[in-house]
Amino acid sequence: MTDYTVELNNLIKFFGRRLIFNGINFSFSSRNVYGISGPNGSGKSTLVKIIADLISPTGGKVVHKYGERTIEPEDLHNYIGFVSPYLFLYDEFTAEENLIHSANIRGIKFNKERSDYLLGELNLFDRRKDLVRGYSSGMKQRLKFIFALLHEPQLIILDEPTSNLDNSGKEIVYKIIKEESIKNLIVIASNEDSDLHLCTEVIELEKFKKQTNK
């Protein structure tokens, strides 16, 4: 089984003059669940966005490796599954259409079998042909998991994975996290104790607030 690793090398992020974090050095590897925690505004979402190459750090770099091969930024999206409250799917499409379009845009064949399996696992199979516009926030959150897992990514980033979910939704998500962690790398940004309970190691972002001369 090929290992997926992510190395954070001296990451620094400023928003304007405000320091978010400074000097994060860390290494993530497959078959582990890592947590990122910290109070509101500590930069949890910012850090996961930087890991997913959605935004750039002010300093330092993130290196993604699949086996020995370093992944180029333009290919990174094929290896990452991302779930977050600020990720939105297309309201004017049905759940299934969203998944078909996402597979086509990725340039992979739509795997109906996997899609149906995930829709079933997350209790959305019966609503797969309904427009996302009519979904509740919890259903949208569950659909985001299917969107993130459909292409079988090696790195799964979950920013507040259980937001908007009821207890049964949370149980399903925890089951999926445990299953996926057998072969993949999972990073969870959250403050929920129950989410962080699943993690083998947790990064406390408050420790990286120290300002150095920039």
Partner 1 sequence: MKAFALYKKDWQSELRTRYAINALAMFILVTISVIMFSIGNEKITEYLTGGLLWVVIFFSAMSGLSRAFVSEEERGTTMTLHLLASPSTIFSGKLIFNLLLVFLMNFVITFLFSILFTSFIVKNIALFAIAFLFGNIGIAISSTIIAAIISKASSKGTLYPVLSFPILLPLILTLLELTKFSMDGNSISGSLVEIFVLICYDVIMGTASYLLFDFIWKE
Chain residues in the site for partner 1 (CB under 8 A): 52-56, 74-75, 77, 80, 82, 84, 86-93, 97, 101-102, 104-107, 147
Minimum separation from the CB atom of position 65 to partner 1 (A): 19
Could you give the C-alpha distances from 35 to 50, 97, 170, in angstroms and in order? Answer: 15, 32, 17
Minimum separation from the CB atom of position 186 to partner 1 (A): 16
Cβ contact 114:150 at 8 Å: yes
- Which residue, 102 or 190, has its beta carbon nearer to partner 1? 102
Question: Which sign, positive or negative, has the C-alpha torsion 145, 69, 183, 178?
Answer: negative
- Which residue, 110 or 196, has its beta carbon nearer to partner 1? 110
- Which residue, 105 or 120, has its beta carbon nearer to partner 1? 105
Minimum separation from the CB atom of position 72 to partner 1 (A): 9
Query: How far out from the chain centre does Cα 80 lie?
Result: 7
- Which residue, 133 or 207, has its beta carbon nearer to partner 1? 133
Cβ contact 152:183 at 8 Å: no
Give the pairing of strands 69-70 and 59-66.
antiparallel
Minimum separation from the CB atom of position 25 to partner 1 (A): 23
